[in-house]
Each structure stands twice: as structure tokens, then as C-alpha cells.
Structure 1
Amino acid sequence: MKIAKISAATATTAALALGLAACGSSQPAETAAPAPAATGSAAASEAGPKYAGKTLSVWRLGNSNPAAAAYMEELNAEFTKQTGAQVKLEWIPWPTVNDKFASAATGTGGPDVTEIGNDQVPLWQSQDALSPVTDIAHAGEQAAIPQNLFGLETIDNEVYGMPWGAGARAVLYRADWFKELKIEVPKSWDELVAAAKKIQKEKGSDVDGFAFNGGSDANHLLGAFAWSEGGEYAVKEGDKWVGKLSDPAFAKGFATYTGLVQEGLSGKSRLTLNTVDIRKRFANDKVGMYLTAGWDLPGIEEDSKGKLKGDKLAFFPLPAKSGGEAPSFFGGNDIALWGSTQQAELGKEYIKLATSKTWADRYAKEGGLLPVYPDTLAALNEDPAQGPFARAFAKAKAFPADSNWTEANETKAVLQNAARAVIEGKKDAATALADANKELEEILNQ
């Protein structure tokens, strides 16, 4: 058994599983009325007597809430009806997730099936903690899930997690300020820059018109800029990662990213703030716009002591400097088969049911996430609240699917350090990106 390289779960992944309100709404998620029982797979229906008396251990991440609890109760009841097996459900609080996973990966006490952040799949697969579910991904209803949603889950041609619900980012803005200052919602990068400058002019120089994210989740912002220019962080050539940070396309996106500070849209003294830090400044009237998602809304309402909620806040898709809407990182939650399970066949039946269209659509809707089935996602395009996220997610991209990406992104902060070096005048952009490219390759290929 390999020794796990543990890192804190990203804020993105953690927030996705909290079952917060749907993106763009500050109202709490309501427990939906029970949906008609899903038919599930024919194999599951026929397998009923075979699993009578069995118990399947399932982990959900985060803390339960009424909507999530109702969903799991109904899903598990349907599973028992179809298979005869019982489900032992355990909720794992976010602060203990990594410790629980590490303990289960190196010893005993793991689940049979677990919810898992999609960006954590490569890490735990590298520790032999996950078993492949490739056969589920390419058959039945699940075959309709777009292949680009399996970017982090597919390793050496095997699938190690099934997409369950998705998350994307858009620009959160002070709708009340826009109304007050007569600013139209930006549809281009130039319009966004003009809006940011007007906010700073009217609200004060200590206000970030569009906040620069240079913290642990900085690459969600940088990635959007780079991907919109056609750039990539690294690509796999054979069994080796080849960095692409020095390519002209990535460099263009990097210039837009550092330009947020160099052109004065965000303060130079705040180069290390992440989304959580920016959220707190936003709640205290110090930020006009920033890239995030709907899960920030409850925190903003709390941090502002109830002053910022409802129609004072809204979202729009991040415009690409080159035109159109920028891609988003496709965050989200998967459901996976644990590597040491002694009930792989039964576990796969659970995963088939949970990711069938009926139950996956409900998981997304009731958890404030985006659906992974294309027709359900497309139906949200014109929705005032969900539309910006649905459109961004439709062309979402992923970071390199390698277990060492977390080290490059969070522990070593390769791109964050490169950006700071440029902004602080310690390196020119070409040198900073060349140095970062070398470091990224060394980390991914170790």
C-alpha cells in the first residue's frame, strides 16, 4: 500500500457537498417532494434476492441537512427495494475527511462506496484507494454523461469515479452598486474592466473593482483566463507530463491574470488572498466583483450581518478577453468504489442507481449543483440564477489529472509564486513562466 500524500481538500470541493442553495439564490435549499422511484439498472432489479441480508457502507462528505438527508433516505430505500441490501450511511465532516481517507487507505475501516471531490480522485487512485468503475461509465443511462466530465476520473484508460453533481464559477457582483452607478452587466472583457474602474472611482481606492485571487484556489481564476485563450497547464505525452506554461496561449491568459493588479483593478497589497478571504472583503463593501459560485452566498450574508443578500447580489459569466465566455474549472462531486471493499459488485449496483438520470438530477438540484446529464443542464441555460453557471460549465476544463497536481497547486504554489514575481517586478513574465514550467514538470513527473 502506498503512503498517501495528504493535502487539505480544496474549498471548491468542500463547498460543493454542503447542500447549499442553488447557485445564484440566497434562499436555503428546500427538501424536494419524493420523486417517483427510479427504475435503476435491470441488473440491479434482477439481483435483489442475491444481496438480501447484505449491508453496504456508504460515506457522504460534509454535514447533513434536511434536503440531503431526505435524498439519501429515499435513495437508500430504493436501493434496498431493488437489491435487498441495507445501507449503513455515515456523514464525514469536512475537517476530518483527509484523515478518514488516509486511515482507510492505509488500514481498515473504509467504506464500500464514497462520495469524493472530483479533484481528489487522482490523489486517492494513486494510493490504490479506489477501484475502477469503467464498466458503469460506458453503459446504460450513464453513457450519456459527456466524456469531458471524466477528465479527472480517467487514469490509464480506467474510470475511478462517476460524476454525480457538478460545479462551475461565474462572476459574483454587487447588483445594488451596479444599479446605483448605472453600470450594465458586462458582456465583454473591456466592459468588465470599465465597470471595475467605475466602482473604484465611486467607492474608493481601497475597493477592488475585480478581485485578484492569488491564494490556494488561484488557478480557478488563472485557468479560466488561460483556457479561454486555448492554453493548457500540461499535457501527457506517453507516460510523461510536458508543461505548456510558456506557450503563447497560456502566456496571454497569464498576462490577463497579472494585469488585474498591474492595471489597478485589484490592490497590490492583497496578492495572497483566496476566495474565502475575498468573500469576507466583498461582504464588507471592499470588492465589487470576483469569481466564485453560489456556495459563497450564505457566508456573505453571515459576514455582512444580513445586509448583503437577495437582489443586492447576482452573477454573470466571466467574459474572455478574446471574446465570448471563459471556460470554468469543472468542480464537482463524484461517487466512487473504495479500493478495499469486499462488496465490489454490490457497490457498483449502488453507484449505478445513484448516478442514473433520476437520482443524479435530484442530487444536483437538491444540493445546489449542476446536473451532469446534458439535457437537464441545457434546460438551465436561460435560467436567471443557474444560467451563468450552466453556460460556463458547458465548456468546463480540468487541471492535469495527476496525483501530484495538489502539490503544485497548493503546497508549492507554482503559478501563484510566478504571478507574484511578475507583479512585484522580480521577474519578467517569460522568465517567470519558464521557471514555473520547469518546476511544474518536475512535480508532476516525480
Structure 2
Amino acid sequence: MKRWMKLATGIAAISLATAGCAGSGGSGEAPASNAPQQISGDLTVWLMTGSAPDTLTSALHKEFQDANPGVKIKYEIQQWNGIQQKLTTALASQTPPDVIELGNTQTPAFASESVLADVTDSVNDFNGAQWLKGLKDSATFDGKQYGVPFYAANREVLYRKDMFEQAGITTPPASNDEWLAAIDKLKTKFGSDPEFQPLYLPGQYWYAYLSFLWDQGGDIAKADGKKFKSTLNTPEAKAALEFYKKLVDASGTKAPKDNDEANPQQSGIYGGGKVAMFIGTPGEVATAAKTDPTIKDKTGAFAVPGKSAGKSAPVFLGGSNLAIPLNSKNQAAAKAYIKLLSSQKYQTEIAKGGFVPGTSTDISALSSDPYASVMAKAAQNGRAVPSSPNWGNVESGQNPLKDMLTAYLTGAKSADQATGDANSALDKLLAGS
């Protein structure tokens, strides 16, 4: 989980310097042919470290080569450090790999540079009827499909079961009102300890804000042709901002208002034993257990509550897509490979690894995990950030959502000022300024 979060929080903007760098293709579409394509030759596959266990890829490659004896697979595991530049260089060449794994916030940027094959006509071959909308959207650009969901993960509320029990909370909160009521009960029970925090919530945790924004019916930005216009100054965005502040004020969290969940690492704070809840990914429980090995057995999970009772808030889906470079010399084999990897058989193996499967709605393999099962159910109501090729500018630079949250929580700006300024700043970034 720590690995995929790097994708969701640190994607750099992509810039391919010359118009001809995509090779002779340029249109972003795979060559069309009515004649049957023979699957043979070398197939170079780049997957990222930690994405697929060796047992999965060994079985996958054996099955693929048994069915296609004319194909030789060159499987190369890539490291996250430096992958942005390595992909940029490879995709601009005439000899890129044939199958690549991309972070789902990277995909629109590469698609806009016309270096990925358009796989719109092959979606059904990749089990497209079962794709979650949020995952499909992350691999869509200008109405066309340039990637196939591989896997995802999302946030949930992780909580101390023992503290809830002692505070008289018999069932996890299922609405915003119930969440606030649980905070009150926890304060009543443990509030005499000055270090206690019912909910640890950093001021710049914009991924949490997205859940509240979408739950209010708002969005970050709306498509305007091939461009996007920010919608952070809407009544829905202001309502989400006000609810965020209500949570912060009610909990009395000691988290910084001018930093995010990684600074300091919130799982480490939770592991210290003075926090009853935080919004995080299942993998953060293991990190907390490095501080307190007993905390894993004490921790439960519930979906981020929504404003309507019994309906959880939408969550941001972070993860990876599979794509075929436009200049791949073996696109027929690449499609066959992705077709097999996106099948129920191998997506079940992805789920067993603790991820939400990208091309399957069958999450039964996660049912025995108390954290992953909640995550997977919440993912059914998952969303993606705007599929703007300039989204990298938002995450790698001065993120307007972070500035907005800090300004409002500290009282430096009113809700109108904070959302208005963020809206203007986001518009500039999405326009490439």
C-alpha cells in the first residue's frame, strides 16, 4: 500500500520535448487491420516492483507461452525510483516495451502525448463490463481508452476496537452524524488524557477532503472539451470544507493544519496508542504495528461515512493501469497478454495480494481480511481525479487543495476566499500554466 500511495501523491508532470517524439504514429491509435494477426516474436513486459507476486507472473507466463509458443516473453521488473523519466524516454523511442504498468494519474498525461495505443475497441476483451467507473475514468482521455485497470486501493477509517468498546460504541459509524457522535463518546471516556485524540486528521489531507467533496455532490473539475475547468468554488465544495473543519474541531486533533498525512507519518502517530481513529489504507496498520505489535489485533475498519445514513462517501481510487505503447512492435501479443492478465483467474490472485482487482467485481478473495474487505466494498463507490494531462502539476507542485484546507482551518481565509483562490489556482495548473 505504501508503494501505490507514492503514485497517488507524487506524479511529476510529463513533457515530451518534440512533436515527433512519438514516432510515426502520432494519432494515439493502434494500427487497424481486418486480417488475423499472428501472435509471435518477442514480448517485453514492464511491471513495477510489488505489483504482482512471482507466483502469479510465473503461472501467467507459462499459460501464455503454452498457448502462444511463438512468443518469447521478456519480463522486466521496474523500480519506482526514476520510473517517470525511464518511461518518458522509452515511450518516445522506436523500441519501447510492449506492455507497461502506469500509475493511474500518469495515464492521461502519456495519452495526451500520443505515445499510448488506443485500446477502446478491445475493452470487451479485457473484461471491460466489470471495470469500476473510477478505474475506467483514470485510463480515459478525450473519450478514448488508453489503459486497462490493473489494481487499486483506497482509504477507509481505521479504528481501535478496544477504545470503541470502552466508550460504549457498539457499531461503527454509518453516517456523518454518527461519526461525530462517536467522537463525543470517545472524548467523554478518554478526554482526561491530554494526549488523546479521537480522530487524527491532518489539515492538508486532501484525499480525505475529496471523499467529503464527492459526497456533497461536488467535484474537483469538470471536462470542457479536451480541457478541464475547476469547480472548487461551488456550494458543494464549501459544504465539504465546512464538514472537514467540523471534524477537526470536534476531535481536537493535534495533527498539523499546515501539513499532510505523511508529515508526520500518521500511522506512526496511531501506533503510539493515543489515537482512536484515522483515515488511511489497510497497509498503514502494518506500519503502525512497527511501533506497537499488538495494535493489529486491536484495529478494525469501516468505510468513510457519508452524509446519508448507511451510504458511505465516495473514495479516491489510487493504483495502476496497464497500457500498450503506440510504437510497440508486437501489439497483437500485448493485447493477448493483457487479456489473460485481466481475466478472472489472475485478477483473483491480485485480490489475494490485498488489492482491489482492476478488471473484476469479484472481491470474495478479500472477504477474510478485516481491512481489505472494507476497502474493497468502499471501492465500488470509488472515483478518479480529473483525467487531465496536467494533473501532475497539481500533485507535484503547490497543491491548491492543500492551501485551501490550511487557509480555512487556520482562519486565514473564509470559505468563500479559500475556495475561490483554490479554484483560480487549480484552473491555471490544469491549463498547464
Contact conserved, 2:221 with 2:231, CA < 8 A, in 1? yes
The amino acid that maps onto 1:80 is: Q
Contact conserved, 1:261 with 1:268, CA < 8 A, in 2? no
Secondary structure of 1:138's counterpart equals helix
Q: 2:158 aligns with which of 163, 172, 177?
A: 172
1:375 Cα offset (Å): 4.8
1:189 Cα offset (Å): 1.7
Match of 2:400 in 1: 414
Distance (whole Å) between structure 2 residues aligned to residue 366 and residue 383 of structure 1: 10
Q: Which range moves more in the overlay, 416-425 or 115-124?
A: 115-124
Q: 1:132 aligns with which of 118, 126, 142?
A: 118
The reply to whether residue 11 of structure 1 matches residue 5 of structure 2 is yes
The reply to whether residue 279 of structure 1 matches residue 267 of structure 2 is yes
1:147 Cα offset (Å): 4.4
1:206–1:128: structure 2 CA closer, same or farther, 3 Å change rule? farther
Distance (whole Å) between structure 1 residues aligned to residue 67 and residue 285 of structure 2: 38
Q: 2:46 aligns with which of 59, 74, 99?
A: 59
Alignment of 1:185-200 (within 5 A): 185-200=172-187
The amino acid that maps onto 1:78 is: E
1:140 Cα offset (Å): 6.5
1:146–1:269: structure 2 CA closer, same or farther, 3 Å change rule? closer
1:275–1:291: structure 2 CA closer, same or farther, 3 Å change rule? farther
1:338–1:186: structure 2 CA closer, same or farther, 3 Å change rule? same
Match of 1:88 in 2: 74
The amino acid that maps onto 2:62 is: A
Q: Which range moves more in the overlay, 387-396 or 191-200?
A: 191-200
Match of 1:68 in 2: 53
Contact conserved, 1:361 with 1:373, CA < 8 A, in 2? no
Alignment of 1:313-328 (within 5 A): 313-323=299-309, 324-328=311-315
Alignment of 1:11-30 (within 5 A): 11=5, 13=7
Q: 2:62 aligns with which of 60, 65, 77?
A: 77
Distance (whole Å) between structure 2 residues aligned to residue 214 and residue 241 of structure 1: 26
- In structure 2, list runs of 5 or more residues that go unmatched: 10-35
Distance (whole Å) between structure 1 residues aligned to residue 260 and residue 196 of structure 2: 14
Give RMSD over aligned pairs: 2.8
TM-score normalised by the chain length of structure 1? 0.81
Contact conserved, 2:112 with 2:141, CA < 8 A, in 1? no
1:373 Cα offset (Å): 4.9
Match of 1:207 in 2: 196
Match of 1:25 in 2: none
**How many residues are matched?**
399
The amino acid that maps onto 1:86 is: K
Secondary structure of 2:158's counterpart equals strand
Match of 1:122 in 2: 108
Q: 1:220 aligns with which of 207, 216, 220?
A: 207
1:147–1:399: structure 2 CA closer, same or farther, 3 Å change rule? closer
Match of 1:42 in 2: none
- In structure 1, list runs of 5 or more residues that go unmatched: 1-7, 16-45
Per-residue deviation, residues 273-300 of structure 1 (Å, max 9, x unmatched): 3247111111112432111221222222
Contact conserved, 2:343 with 2:359, CA < 8 A, in 1? no
TM-score normalised by the chain length of structure 2? 0.83
1:95–1:207: structure 2 CA closer, same or farther, 3 Å change rule? farther
Secondary structure of 2:357's counterpart equals coil
1:373–1:86: structure 2 CA closer, same or farther, 3 Å change rule? same
Contact conserved, 1:9 with 1:98, CA < 8 A, in 2? no
Distance (whole Å) between structure 2 residues aligned to residue 10 and residue 356 of structure 1: 22
1:163 Cα offset (Å): 1.0
Match of 1:43 in 2: none
Match of 1:247 in 2: 234
Secondary structure of 2:138's counterpart equals coil
1:408–1:176: structure 2 CA closer, same or farther, 3 Å change rule? same
Distance (whole Å) between structure 2 residues aligned to residue 445 and residue 148 of structure 1: 23
The reply to whether residue 302 of structure 1 matches residue 287 of structure 2 is no
The reply to whether residue 330 of structure 1 matches residue 323 of structure 2 is no
Distance (whole Å) between structure 1 residues aligned to residue 88 and residue 200 of structure 2: 35
Per-residue deviation, residues 335-367 of structure 1 (Å, max 9, x unmatched): 11123322222211111111122222322x232
The amino acid that maps onto 2:68 is: T
The amino acid that maps onto 1:152 is: S
Contact conserved, 1:361 with 1:372, CA < 8 A, in 2? no
1:155 Cα offset (Å): 0.6
Per-residue deviation, residues 210-246 of structure 1 (Å, max 9, x unmatched): 222444xx33200100111111111012233222111
Q: Percent identity?
A: 27
Distance (whole Å) between structure 1 residues aligned to residue 96 and residue 203 of structure 2: 35
The reply to whether residue 370 of structure 1 matches residue 356 of structure 2 is yes
Q: 1:397 aligns with which of 364, 380, 383?
A: 383
Q: Which range moves more in the overlay, 139-148 or 243-252?
A: 139-148
Runs of 4+ deviating beyond 6 Å: 378-383
The amino acid that maps onto 1:70 is: T
Distance (whole Å) between structure 1 residues aligned to residue 220 and residue 261 of structure 2: 20
The amino acid that maps onto 1:403 is: P
1:106 Cα offset (Å): 4.4
Distance (whole Å) between structure 2 residues aligned to residue 105 and residue 381 of structure 1: 39
Match of 1:36 in 2: none
The amino acid that maps onto 2:199 is: F
